Amino acid sequence: MIFLLHAPQVRDTEVFTRLPDHFRRTGVRSDWADANRGGQPTDAFLEGPVFDGAGNLYVTDIPFGRIFRIDPQGAWTLVAEWDGEPNGLKFLDERTLLVTDYRHGLMRCDVATGEVRPFLTRRNSERFKGVNDLVFDRAGNLYFTDQGQTGLHDPTGRLYRLAPDGRLDLLLSNVPSPNGVALSPDERVLYLGVTRGNQVWRVPLLPDGSVSKVSAFFTSYGPSGPDGLAVDEAGRVLVANPGLGLVWVLNHRGEPETVLRSCAGASLTNLAFGGPERRTLYCTESVTGSVLRATLETAGGPVHRGRHGVPVVPRETKKSPAEAGLESIPAEQAPRRQLFQNINSPCSDGD
């Protein structure tokens, strides 16, 4: 149980939009729902909210391998569908999404055509456990989590960094279910949602590229721990907490200053800032297929993108002398490892 010296302000969200019925896969079973929701009926499970420069919101549907675009009026369009289990999203450029696909690794999606292609499917010829979420820093480094089915029984989840030159570093390998990632405004600290540990970890990023003195910044409670994260311009950390149906807004001491309550279901999974001046927080409520929102006083921090450049292959990591391998596919479909560069979008997401 959380002990607080001062009671946080409690506020309610409102429904922005819901997945239309004609997109729901009612009565259709999926391997993902059988494994992760105990076989409960799941007609969709929304995640990964991110805004484009025109104010459209993109979300994933994990069990049915879909990406949707939601316009500012709340109308839904199916962008892509494939045999994957997509979770997190970030833009590489104006028309290309980088996707953490639990089944296949890092994928990229052309939002104009719906084409989905491999980006990074293996590390040192070994498959990932099941990648989950991602964030770019302003220098173009990509941080992403490899969660799989890890937990307190198997604390072997991983945090990676993919540098603009293709270097892939394993930063952490002892995490019980690494999930959402977000960076402090000065990018000296990475915040990491640790779902099965029911915590948010604080990961200092040192100038030499290493990490040190990783600590538990915040501890929650209940049946399911922190999921997606966001950071506002003042450095507050926003934590989506499925199971509780809450978003914690934490100050620099890890104390909740504000608590946002779901007006729909309890499965608040991820967050993105958008709207005028990035002052509206959008939240995916996964089980009901809803997107909720709340207007906040402080704007969300800027989101950084990657942009296509010359192909590069991930080089050896600090943890291993071997190179990260490419999956064997036809030459005309070969994935390109692209250089990243910082682009600030007028709309920002923060998961």
Question: Tokens at residue 31, please?
Answer: 């391997």
Is 83 annotated to bind a ligand? Reply is: no
Dist CA 88 CA 70 (whole Å): 16
Q: Which of 101, 146, 227, 349 is catalytic?
A: 227
Backbone angles phi, psi at 276, to 5 degrees: -55, 125
Residues 6+ apart with CB under 8 A from 221: 1, 2, 198, 244
Instruction: Give the three-state DSSP class for 48.
Output: strand
Question: Tokens at residue 342, please?
Answer: 């910082």
183, 166 in Cβ contact below 8 A? no
Is 208 annotated to bind a ligand? Reply is: no
Is 56 annotated to bind a ligand? Reply is: no
**Residue ranges of the alpha helices (H) in the chain?**
31-36
Sign of CA dihedral 102, 154, 239, 17: positive
Dist CA 222 CA 234 (whole Å): 28
Please confirm, yes or no, whether 165 is among the known catalytic residues. no
Is 141 annotated to bind a ligand? Reply is: no
Long-range (24+ apart) CB contacts under 8 A made by 328-332 are 329/118
Instruction: Give the three-state DSSP class for 333.
Output: helix
End-to-end CA distance of the chain: 25
Instruction: Give the three-state DSSP class for 38.
Output: coil
Dihedral of the alpha carbons of 33, 38, 41, 47, in degrees to the nearest 10: -40
Dist CA 204 CA 252 (whole Å): 14
18, 288 in Cβ contact below 8 A? yes
User: Quick one: residue 245, left, alpha or beta (phi over 0 = left, psi -120 to 50 = alpha)?
Assistant: left
Mark the binding-site residues, compressed into ranges: 47, 132, 179, 227
Binding region for substrate: 132
Q: Hey, which residues are catalytic here?
A: 227
Question: Residues forming the annotated binding site for a divalent metal cation?
Answer: 47, 179, 227
